[in-house]
Structure 1
Amino acid sequence: MGENREVLIVHGEQAERIPLPHGGGFVLLADGRDTGGALGANRLTLGRGATGARPHYHARSTELFHVLEGVMWFDVDGRTTTVAAGGLVSIPPGVPHAFGAVPDSPAELLSVLTPGVDRFEYFRTLGRIQHGQEPFDSLLKHQERYDVHFLPVGVPARLRADGRDDA
C-alpha cells in the first residue's frame, strides 16, 4: 500500500444512503479505493434494539466505532458491554464481535475500518438482506473479499445477533 496523497472530502448530501427496515440505515462515506486503501468509513443508524452486526471478525483490519448518539451494546470476544454517545471501541484483527442498539434506545455510530477494504457493495447487500430481497447466505461466498468472516452456527446466543442458541 503506497502513500496516499489524495484528499477525500465527502459532503453529507453526496453520501450514498442505504435504508434499513427498522428506520435506520447506512451512510457510505469512504471506501478503501477512495483512500488508497488507508481506511473505509460509514455511519450507521439503528432503531431501538436493532442489531448492527451478527458475530464476525476481520482477519486483516482493525475496526473502530465511535458512538455518536444513543447507547450501543458490543459483544467483543465473549464479553458484553454497553457504550453511550461519545464512547469509542477499537477491535483489532481476529477478535470476534457483534453489536447493536440497546432495547430502549435508537443509536448512531461512525465505523472506520483500517486498512480500508472496498465494502460499499457489502453494505448494499446488507440492505437488500434486511429488506428480504436477498438471503443472508449470499454474503458467505464474499467473506474474504470484504474481510468480514461470520462465526458459524453453534455460537452461543450471547455472541449471535439473532439471539438463537444453536449449540
Structure 2
Amino acid sequence: MGENRDVLIVHAEEAERIPLPHGGGFVLLADAQDTDGALGANRLTLGRGATGARPHYHARSTELFHVLEGAVWFDVDGRTTTVTAGGLVSVPPGVPHSFGAVPDSTAELLSVLTPGVDRFEYFRTLGRIQHGRETFDGLLKHQERYDVHFLPEPPPVSG
C-alpha cells in the first residue's frame, strides 16, 4: 500500500474506434505500453453472423473474452461452443482458437490479453484489411510482433 503506481483510466469518449464493414468495430482501450506490459484490452462489436477472428494462437499470452451482449461461437482447440452474454472464455498460450457472432446474432465482447502485447496497430491494420485497403498477407509478416500466429487455411472443398 502507499506504493505509487500508474493507474490507467480510459473514458469512453477518449477510446479510439476502428469501424468494421459489417457494422461493428473495435474500441481500443489499453495497449501493453499503457499498462507497463500487464495487459492489453479492447472491446469488439460484431455484426450479425460476423467472424471475429480466423484460427490463430498466442505464443506468450492468455486471451480472455467476456461476452457482453449477444451470442458468440468459439472454436477452441477444435471444440466449438456457443457463449452468450455474461459468459467468459479464457484461452491459454499456444491453444488455437477462433470466434464470431452466431449466424442470427450480433455480439459484443471484451477481450483482454495478458501479459500485454502492443497490438493497437494490429487492430488498425485489421480495420484497413476489412475495408479492402490492405491485404491480409501483409499482416502475416508481423505475427511474432503482435503474438498472433495464424493457422494455415484449410484447402477448399472440391465439389
TM-score tier after normalising by the smaller chain length = over 0.9
**1:122 maps to amino acid:** Y
Alignment-derived partner of residue 121 in structure 2: 121
Pairing 1:84–2:76 present: no
Could you say which residue in structure 2 is the equivalent of 1:39?
A: 39
Would the alpha carbon gap of residues 37 and 131 (structure 1) be closer, same or farther in structure 2, given more than 3 Å must change? same
1:113-133 C-alpha deviation (Å, 9 max, x unpaired): 000000000000000000000
Once residues 4 and 51 of structure 1 are traced to their aligned partners in structure 2, the CA distance between those partners, rounded to angstroms, is 41
Helix, strand or coil at the partner of 1:133: coil
- What do you get for the CA RMSD once the two structures are aligned? 1.6
> TM-score, normalised on structure 2?
0.95
- Letter matched to residue 129 of structure 1: I
Instruction: Say if 2:131 is the partner of 1:135.
Output: no
Does the 8 Å CA contact 1:4/1:38 hold for their aligned counterparts? no
Letter in 2 for 1:23: G
User: 2:26 is matched with which residue?
Assistant: 26
Alignment of 1:1-167 (within 5 A): 5-154=5-154
Q: Distance in 2 between matches of 1:137 and 1:107?
A: 27
Structure 1: give runs of 5+ residues left out of the alignment. 156-163
TM-score for both structures, normalised by structure 1 = 0.90
Letter in 2 for 1:66: H
CA distance in 1, matches of 2:4, 2:115: 12
Consecutive unaligned residues of structure 2, counting only runs of 5 or more, are: none
